[in-house]
Amino acid sequence: MRAILGGIAALAIVVPAVVVSRAPAVPLAIAAKVARPQRVVAATEIPEVEPVELQDLTPQDARTYNAGIPFVHGPRPAAQAFRFAGDDAQRARATDCLAAAAWYEAGDDPVGQRAVVQVVLNRLRHPAFPKTVCGVVFQGQERATGCQFTFTCDGALARHPSEPAWDRARKVAVAALDGTVFGKVGYATHYHTDWVVPYWSASLDKLAEVNTHLFFRWTGWWGTPAAFRRSVSSDEPVIGKLGDISPAHRLGGALDEAALALAAAAPLTDATPVASAPVPGEPDSFAAVLNDGAPESYPGIAKVACGARAKCKFLGWTDRAMLPAGGAMTPPQMAAMSFSYLRDKDAGLERELWNCREFPRTGPGLCMRRQVVPVTPPGGPGTLRGPDTLGGVRKREVPAALPTPSVPLP
């Protein structure tokens, strides 16, 4: 018995070694064309997500090169189950974003779809990516190049799946949001087809192959299960591009517009905020008079005003007299501001700040920086002069958006 067990153990060691040793070597002529940047990022530094850029190889040379790269040794654990925690409307939007990634990336192939969906959920829980399902799938959608999933920016959304195919993709998405895991791709955050070689592939661990797609994870700590524990958000954005195939996104956008229209038509009372209005010359900035008795409602009002914009600034005052007439504000107007909301989806920024002299709050990071209002000196306004106005609101610079990874179409 001991001899049999010993033989089995030996085979478990020898067979994988033989398989790896017999993997076809990359021909020198092809290897010489490939740049191989390799860097293991420390656990204290969030890894950079590489932009879309491919090695200069023909499809046949790319296949030869990819076949010669061995799969990573060691454990390849399956990801933890994910369960969506939002309300019905948020779940519907997340489901259709996930289904769109599945169908446009993998076609009507349930195995390929499950692999793609697992990558989306892995990214969702990794701090290098946005923290909503739709944010992950459609990050970079506004750019002609640089989107994470190429179908969101290359015109592929003009093609629509058949109703049965769309239903099948949605079933895959629903199962994943309810905890189904596709274990084969583990904690993969990247993939590409076998006929291309992105620059980033050489610096990642090759995990799995599903049909014509190869799946990768980050090397070092950022590819381990401990790195995939970032808290996520259920505040799924409305994606207008999905309106043709997704009632959840079509209806969601209409409801946001209706809410804003109702707010604009409502008379001002002590309990009703004035509808926000775009700042002249700044279509993604809004200014509003707010009800001073309901500060907890301000984030919701701001999000209705901003709608599905990737970048937005919302500024509110409870003192109607302090509302600026245009984009420029005086120091007293800045000091009297009651609430501000800033959004930059590409940078993963969403910030809500209150005037804590007006609304004392205990949570860290919720207070605006105090503005100092110039005081006229005793000798009169001519003895000391500062700027008449300041253009915009003083704030920290918005961090630059992370480059996005290459995820070619199937």
Going by their DSSP bridges, the two strands 213-218 and 190-193 should be labelled as: antiparallel
**How does the average pLDDT of the chain come out, rounded?**
77
Residue 302 has pLDDT above 60, yes or no: yes
DSSP codes, 216-256: EEESGGGGSGGG--------PPP-GGGTTT-HHHHHHHHHH
Give mean pLDDT, residues 223-246: 91
Q: For residues 122 and 393, which has the higher predicted lDDT (pLDDT)? A: 122
Label residue 144 by pLDDT band (50, 70, 90). Answer: low
Residue 408 has pLDDT above 70, yes or no: no
Q: Is residue 147 part of a domain?
A: yes
- Same domain for 335 and 222: no
Encode pLDDT of 160-182 as tens digits: 999 999 999 999 999 999 999 99
- Same domain for 333 and 198: no
Q: Is residue 209 part of a domain?
A: yes
Residue 215: per-residue pLDDT: 95
Residue 9 has pLDDT above 70, yes or no: no
Task: Please give the tally of structural domains in the chain.
Answer: 2
Answer with the one of 242, 261, 284 that is the final residue of a domain. 242
- Same domain for 150 and 58: yes
- Same domain for 235 and 117: yes
Going from the C-alpha of 126 to that of each of 19, 122, 136, 187, 401, the distances in angstroms are 32, 6, 10, 10, 16
- Same domain for 137 and 232: yes
Encode pLDDT of 308-325 as tens digits: 888 899 999 988 888 887
Residue 392: per-residue pLDDT: 30
Residue 38: per-residue pLDDT: 64
Label residue 145 by pLDDT band (50, 70, 90). Answer: low
Which domain, by its residues, includes 359? 271-376+386-391
Label residue 48 by pLDDT band (50, 70, 90). Answer: confident
Tokens of 53: 């850029």
Tokens of 367: 């207070």
Q: For residues 215 and 285, which has the higher predicted lDDT (pLDDT)? A: 215
- Same domain for 177 and 278: no
Residue 192 has pLDDT above 50, yes or no: yes
Give mean pLDDT, residues 222-244: 91
- Same domain for 192 and 97: yes
Residue 213: per-residue pLDDT: 93
- Same domain for 192 and 74: yes
Q: Is residue 319 part of a domain?
A: yes
Question: Of the given ranges (64-73, 231-240, 343-352), which has the lowest mean pLDDT?
Answer: 343-352
Between CA 109 and CA 162 the distance in angstroms is: 14
- Same domain for 218 and 104: yes
Label residue 228 by pLDDT band (50, 70, 90). Answer: very high
Label residue 111 by pLDDT band (50, 70, 90). Answer: very high
Residue 291: per-residue pLDDT: 79
